[in-house]
A and B are shown apart, each in its own frame.
Chain A
Amino acid sequence: MTTRIVELRRGILKKNDELAAGLRDRYAAGGVLVLNLVSSPGTGKTAFLERTLRELRERGAKVAALVGDLETDNDAKRLAASGAPVRQINTHGICHLDAEMISKHLEGWELADLDYLFIENVGNLVCPSSYDLGEKIRVALLSVTEGEDKPLKYPTLFNSADAAVITKMDIAEPCGFDRELALKNINEIRPGIRIFETSAKTGAGMEEWLAYLAEERVKREAFQ
């Protein structure tokens, strides 16, 4: 018997990465800014997105959303109340969205008719960080009820984010939320990241967030 080493040197998630690259090209061709929202379950992704969709539509923007959950279409129903087209992706046990699921659920949508597409990932701070969905901006969300050290506990996700959103700021005080410490921790893991302090309930921080989206969209158009 002889032994032989076969060199492969390839990414394990190569198939996903290739599909995501294809999606990225499609988003660019359609001129749509795509964001991937990631957080723990219960951070308030859906409430934040409901408000974002509603306010963008009020400003005349064309928006759509894909929302991932293991089961139920509850979140899609909530988001659809904004009037935006919304599709639910049920992963049936899979802990993250992948590029293939996105591709499948975009069928029939004309990307060129959209300004913004939001993808609300499955509530999970670990696995979604490995799966590129072709998005331009990955947003990591953190609520004031979760503890200021969440970025330190889940550095892989926060380090891969392009923007961070702190949610539920309206209850920061009763929760004893240490704002300075949370900002410091996010900056340790992802230095220089844009951070938005928001409340979907009161609307605090939404102006700044919406202005950021508009800026990024203009940047995106300039690049095409």
Chain B
Amino acid sequence: MHELSIVSSVVETVEESLANYPGARVVEVRLKVGALASVVVDSLEFCWGIAIEGTALAGSRLVVVTLPVVMHCAHCDADVELDGVQSFRCPRCGEICLDLRQGRELDIESYEIEEADRSEEIGVKG
């Protein structure tokens, strides 16, 4: 339900960073979203189209990589990946896991831009 405000904040952050690359066109923005982040990927993608309209990111794609929950199992002394978020037991030994190592991420990983080549720029000036 709060996906629009989330993507709006992504747009804002990328726009701030874009100031370092004048004239660049944004092709793609990559997010990492954990299985426990409480956001719906389809909804992020839907809201993306609305949020980028009229901004420097217009026409860009949103790529969302989802991360499974990883817990540290004290019994196995290992980091284990859970199959879902319906149970927090170690899939190897069945013991309860309390130590969350991955799954709450809601991060902007990177974005891809297209820039005019330097030689082209010089050419224009020449």
Partners in one complex: yes
User: Are the C-beta atoms of A6 and B107 separated by less than 8 Å?
Assistant: no
Residue of B6, B31, B87, B116 with highest tally of chain A CB at under 10 A = B87
- B121 to chain A: closest CB distance in Å? 11
Q: Is there a chain B Cβ closer than 8 Å to A181's Cβ? A: no
Supposing A7-B109, A11-B106, A11-B107 touch, asked if A130 and B115 sit within 8 A by C-beta, the answer is no
Q: Is there a chain B Cβ closer than 8 Å to A40's Cβ? A: no
- B119 to chain A: closest CB distance in Å? 10
- B126 to chain A: closest CB distance in Å? 19
Q: Is there a chain A Cβ closer than 8 Å to B50's Cβ? A: no
User: Bound state CA distance, A130 and B2, in angstroms?
Assistant: 10
Q: Is there a chain A Cβ closer than 8 Å to B53's Cβ? A: no
User: Are the C-beta atoms of A130 and B96 separated by less than 8 Å?
Assistant: no
Q: Is there a chain B Cβ closer than 8 Å to A190's Cβ? A: yes
A 84-127 binary contact with B (CB < 8 Å = 1; else 0): 00000000001110000000000000000000000000001011
User: Are the C-beta atoms of B1 and A95 separated by less than 8 Å?
Assistant: yes
Residues of A within 8 A of B86 (CB): 152, 155, 188-189
User: Are the C-beta atoms of A95 and B107 separated by less than 8 Å?
Assistant: no
User: Are the C-beta atoms of A6 and B113 separated by less than 8 Å?
Assistant: yes
- A151 to chain B: closest CB distance in Å? 10
How many chain B residues sit at the interface, stated as a range, is 35 or more
Q: Is there a chain A Cβ closer than 8 Å to B52's Cβ? A: no
Q: Is there a chain A Cβ closer than 8 Å to B112's Cβ? A: yes
Report which of B13, B37, B98 forms a contact with A130, defined as CB distance below 8 A.
B37
Residues of A within 8 A of B9 (CB): 12-13, 15
Report which of B2, B39, B104, B110 forms a contact with A9, defined as CB distance below 8 A.
B110
| Extra inter-chain contacts (7) besides given A3-B113, A126-B1, CB under 8 Å | A1-B115, A6-B112, A7-B109, A10-B13, A95-B2, A129-B38, A160-B104
Could you give 23 example pairs across A and B, Cβ below 8 Å?
Answer: A1-B115, A1-B117, A5-B112, A6-B21, A8-B14, A8-B109, A9-B109, A11-B108, A12-B10, A95-B1, A95-B2, A126-B2, A126-B38, A127-B1, A130-B39, A155-B36, A156-B37, A157-B38, A159-B88, A160-B104, A188-B86, A189-B86, A191-B98
Q: B residues within 8 Å of A by Cβ?
A: 1-2, 5-6, 9-10, 13-14, 17, 21, 24, 27, 31, 36-39, 85-89, 96-98, 100, 104, 106-117
- Please give me the 7 A-B residue pairs with the lowest Cβ-Cβ distance, nearest first: A191-B96, A155-B85, A156-B38, A127-B2, A95-B1, A8-B108, A129-B38
